[in-house]
Amino acid sequence: MFIKENRIIDEQGRVLFLRGCNVAGSSKVPFTPHGETWRKDSLQNPESVSFVGRPFPLDTADEHLDQLASWGFNLIRFVITWEAIEHAGPGIYDEAYLAYVRKILKKCEDRGIWVYMDPHQDVWSRWTGGDGAPAWTLEKIGIRLDRIYKTGAALTHQEMGDPLPKMMWPTNYNRYAAATMFTLFFAGNAFAPACTIDGQSAQDWLQERYIAAFRHCYRRLKDCKAIIGWGAMNEPHQGFIGYRDLSGLENNSIALGPIPSAFQAMAAASGYSVEIPVYKTGIFGTRITGMHTLNNEGLSLFQEGFTCPWKTAGVWSDERGAPVLLKKDYFSSYQGRKVNFTEDFLKPFIKKFQERMREVNPEAFVFIEGIPNGDHPSWHKEDGPGAIHAFHWYDGATLFSKTFNPYVSVRADNRKIVFGKKAVLKSFIDQLSDDMEWAKEHMNNAPCLLGEFGLPFDLFNKRAYKTGNYTRHIQALDMYYTAIERLFLHATIWNYTPDNTHARGDGWNDEDLSIVGEGKPRAMQGWMRPFPRATAGIPELFSWDYRRKSCVFVYTSSSHEAGSTELFINDFHVGPNPNIEITVESLENQGREVQPGKDTLQYGWDRAKGIFYLVNPEKPSRIILRIQG
Active site residues: 235, 452
What residues pair up with 623 in beta bridges, in sequence order?
555, 584
Alpha helices by DSSP H, listed for 171-237, are 176-191, 202-220
Yes or no: say if 283 and 417 are a contact pair by the CB < 8 Å rule: yes
| 603-606 and 611-614 strand pairing | antiparallel
Q: What's the rounded Cα separation, in Å, for the pair 322 and 455?
A: 46
Length of the chain: 629
Distances (CA, A) of 238 to 242, 243, 503: 8, 9, 34
- How deeply is 513 buried, as exposed, middle or buried, from its count of CB atoms within 10 A (0-12, 13-18, 19+)? buried
For residue 117, what is the enclosing H or E element? Answer: strand 114-119
Nearest to 398 by CA among 374, 382, 372, 418: 418
The amino acid occupying position 326 is L
Those residues whose C-beta lies under 8 Å from the C-beta of residue 49, and which sit 6 or more positions away, are 30, 32, 33, 35, 83, 87
* C-alpha gyration radius of the chain: 25
In sequence order, which residues have a C-beta less than 8 Å from that of residue 52 and are 6 or more positions away? 31, 32, 94, 96, 97, 100
Neighbours of 153 (CB within 10 A): 29
Which bin fits 129, alpha (ψ -120 to 50), beta or left (φ > 0)?
left
Nearest to 18 by CA among 374, 397, 390, 305: 390
Strands 19-23, 75-80: pairing is: parallel
Q: Alpha-carbon distance 42 to 195, whole Å?
A: 30
Q: Is 283 left (phi over 0), alpha (psi -120 to 50) or beta?
A: alpha
Pairing of strands 227-231, 114-119: parallel
